[in-house]
Chains A and B, each alone.
Chain A
């Protein structure tokens, strides 16, 4: 059974870098046809796609992040990660990792990480 387990700090200071990791169990992250994604949800708002990665390292990002985000994959550890730099209070949200069905459908989700940007 596929499980996505997220880890990373819940509090990040303004201007610093947010770092989260999603560890995948129950399937290989190198399975073809799936993408691995990060989505966030600000308090009281709808989801926002951050970006996606294919196991070979091909990445796609939401242009609204203005190149602040970097998604990477480590196939040896069966995990993928998100780094979001120069964070502000507007980056406060619940962050989710997910595996897609196709490219744009998010089928399996992690448990979510509440990230607060505050000094």
Chain B
């Protein structure tokens, strides 16, 4: 069981917007910044969001992140079939002294 809780799956139509949630506690999300990763089938994860809302160079602004209290969300707008992937949130946990990840959310673009 993962330290961070994500919905197992979300879906939306092409062109629409989807929100993926990540729930934690005061020792992880409540105290530290959050990152988000996209993992296309058979490939390594790609960093999409860090420091809650920042995007690395090359990541389109269709991807956005936010944090409030012990939860974080990532929005993807203008959905494309190429966005179908697993998405993971991550952060540092002060109690576990470790980087922790969510269990992942599978995005289906209908």
Contact = CB atoms under 8 A, between A and B. Distances in A.
The answer to whether A and B interact is: yes
Interface of A: 45-49, 62-64, 96, 101-107, 109-112
Contacts of A102: 50-51
B85 interface: no
5 contacts: A96-B44, A101-B56, A102-B50, A105-B51, A107-B50
Contacts of B90: 47, 104-105
A48 B102 CA distance: 10
A106 B47 contact: yes
Interface residues of B, number: 24
A46 B96 contact: no
B103 A46 contact: yes
State the main secondary structure of chain A at its contact with B.
mixed
Contact of A49 (B98, B102, B104): B98
B98 A47 contact: no
A111 B44 CA distance: 6
Q: Which of A102, A109, A111: most chain B CB closer than 10 A?
A: A109
Q: Which of A46, A48, A109: most chain B CB closer than 10 A?
A: A46
B35 interface: yes
Contacts of B104: 45-46
B47 A101 contact: yes
Interface string B71-101: 0000000000000000010111000111111
Query: When A and B form their complex, which 4 residue pairs have the shortest distance between CB atoms, in order from nearest?
Result: A109-B44, A49-B99, A105-B50, A46-B101
